[in-house]
Structure 1
Amino acid sequence: MNYQQLLAEMQQALEGFDAAELEAQWLLAHALCRDRAWLYAHGEDEITDPLLRNETRALTNRRCQGEPLAYILGHQEFWSLRLSVTPDVLIPRADTETLVEVALAYLPSSDAQTVLELGTGSGAISLALASERPLLHIIATDHSPKALAVAQQNAHALGLAERIEFCQGNWFAPITGRRFDLIISNPPYIAGDDPHWPSLRHEPQMALHSEAEGYADLFTIIDAATKHLNEGGLLILEHGWNQAVAVQERMTRAGFQQVSSRQDLAGHLRCTLGYWI
């Protein structure tokens, strides 16, 4: 059997997935500790490792059982950064890059502003901001020590460890009395009866689920952020596709000005921002 034939076998096993061919390539490359370009160049080579077929079957079975590809591979791309991910953190998604885009529009490259990210997970948002704005001072918090360990690992791997201060604790608890120019967060916002739960069962539930129909953590952050923003500071929150109106109303009641929402790649209102003036 050669590598092309093994790929065809894996692709057939993954035929229920939209990107079966691509996923088969990723899994085989992972098993070989190679990249996909190597597979194209060596597709007709005969397989010499007698254990490779068993290994790829095990990887394919994990994927067929619903385990996310990013957890199997151990990494995920976000903002052109390769981030390590484990089941202790959410898998960074392209929709969350909307937050980064909004934040960068607010953060001039020449200013040394202070940023707080709440619930950093893999560190994706903070690392993306640090990679684009070298003068920022960023503090990233997370309730989970295991998640912070992943974020710190990513910061070291990307050469950004000295640019971000990581703190363990729930929301604002680790930074009592401090104020920032920007507070940004992708908090839990999925309600307990959301139909997407089956597809999310492998990811950390505490980073996904929020009480009060998904609004509890969003509203907690909004109400407390007023005590931690400098005058003219900005709050940016990711939320569900149908939560923008309620988040806007809560921000307005809390005293935020110029409250508005931004669309993600699919055209859904994915994040809401407001100024503390």
Structure 2
Amino acid sequence: MSVSCREALSAATRRLMDISDTPRLDAELLMAKALGVEREALLLSRLDDPAPESFETLVRRREAGEPVAYITGRRAFWTIELEVAPGVLVPRPDSETLIEAAVERFGKTGPRNVLDLGTGPGTLLLAALAEWPQARGLGIDRSEAALAIARRNAGRLGLADRTRFEIGDWGEGVEERFDLILCNPPYVESTADLPRDVSEWEPPEALFAGPDGLDDYRRLAPQLGRLLAPHGFACIEIGATQAETVSALFEAEGLGASLRRDLAGRPRCLVIEA
């Protein structure tokens, strides 16, 4: 006898409680994937439908630690939804702090051009271009696989004509100057103990940055000044304990840094103005 989606969701929530901070949400997203509908449609009108057989397979993948975003193939960020897959960092709500800081600075007018260093699936760049229809942008990443996903995201969002994605190593070789620079670099200490769905699944090159987590900031700091246009604005993501040390790296290059906190009140973004 088949069980309803409602019953299957309750059972899956109990199974996922030990491996997820959001077991009910995870279960709902997986059920929506199995049904081929949006989560809102599931909750509004499909809870009493028979649960599809494929739901069990998805739940088992989550029990094995696979991130929900990799299982469903997508992740919401700011006002857009992005394709994600193994090999790219899963976008986090904390990173929206960078977009919030940029919106506070530029308002509705927006920047003319945007640089996203370490763009991954295009997360920050595409969120910015969706915010400002007149802006154009460049996304740089070391991974061709990530850039392929970023290009698909740009096309699906109708932003391909305003974006360029190029293989690169931070700002090396970039000659242009930008009104807005966005960057979420690796900043985790190499010995850090991370949750299983992060440590076993997400790309280590997008997470770890040496023994103190500062290796990539040391490379970025000397590059940033020449990449910023006059009156330019940079938003750099940091770890919750790194504000003072990372600020000092940029200040040593003559760049003043101020701090923005995320919704939980944790230090999350350094703002640097030319």
Normalising by structure 1, we get a TM-score of 0.90
For residue 171 of structure 1, what is the aligned residue in structure 2? 170
Q: Which amino acid aligns with 1:9?
A: A
For residue 262 of structure 1, what is the aligned residue in structure 2? 260
C-alpha deviation, 1:112, in angstroms? 5.4
Q: Does the CA-based 8 Å contact 1:126-1:138 persist in structure 2?
A: yes
- Gaps in structure 1 of 5+ consecutive residues: none
C-alpha deviation, 1:111, in angstroms? 5.7
Residues 230 and 15 (structure 1 numbering): CA distance in 2 closer, same or farther, change over 3 Å? Answer: closer
C-alpha deviation, 1:144, in angstroms? 0.4
Q: Which has the larger radius of gyration?
A: 1
Q: Does the CA-based 8 Å contact 2:111-2:180 persist in structure 1?
A: no
C-alpha deviation, 1:127, in angstroms? 0.9
Q: Which has the larger displacement, 126-135 or 103-112?
A: 103-112
1:44 equivalent in alignment to 2:48: yes
Q: Which amino acid aligns with 2:90?
A: I
Q: Which amino acid aligns with 2:32?
A: A
SS, match of residue 252 in structure 2: helix
Q: Which amino acid aligns with 2:237?
A: E
SS, match of residue 254 in structure 1: coil
Q: Does the CA-based 8 Å contact 1:141-1:174 persist in structure 2?
A: no
- Give the counterpart of 1:28 among 22, 31, 43: 31
Q: Does the CA-based 8 Å contact 2:191-2:211 persist in structure 1?
A: no
Q: Which amino acid aligns with 2:45?
A: A
Name segments (4+ residues, structure 1) moved above 4 Å: none
Residues 179 and 46 (structure 1 numbering): CA distance in 2 closer, same or farther, change over 3 Å? Answer: closer
Q: Does the CA-based 8 Å contact 2:235-2:269 persist in structure 1?
A: yes
Residues 173 and 44 (structure 1 numbering): CA distance in 2 closer, same or farther, change over 3 Å? Answer: same
C-alpha deviation, 1:237, in angstroms? 0.7
Normalising by structure 2, we get a TM-score of 0.91
Tell me the matched-pair count: 269
Pairing of 1:38-117 with structure 2 (within 5 A): 38=42, 40-46=44-50, 52-53=52-53, 55-110=54-109, 113-117=112-116
Q: Does the CA-based 8 Å contact 1:107-1:113 persist in structure 2?
A: no
Paired with 1:39 and 1:262, the residues of 2 have a C-alpha distance of 35
Q: Which amino acid aligns with 1:272?
A: L
Q: Which has the larger displacement, 4-13 or 75-84?
A: 4-13
**RMSD of aligned alpha carbons:** 1.9
1:124 equivalent in alignment to 2:123: yes
Q: Which amino acid aligns with 2:106?
A: L
1:194 equivalent in alignment to 2:192: yes
SS, match of residue 227 in structure 1: helix
Q: Which has the larger displacement, 96-105 or 12-21?
A: 12-21
Paired with 2:264 and 2:110, the residues of 1 have a C-alpha distance of 32
For residue 160 of structure 1, what is the aligned residue in structure 2? 159
For residue 9 of structure 2, what is the aligned residue in structure 1? 7
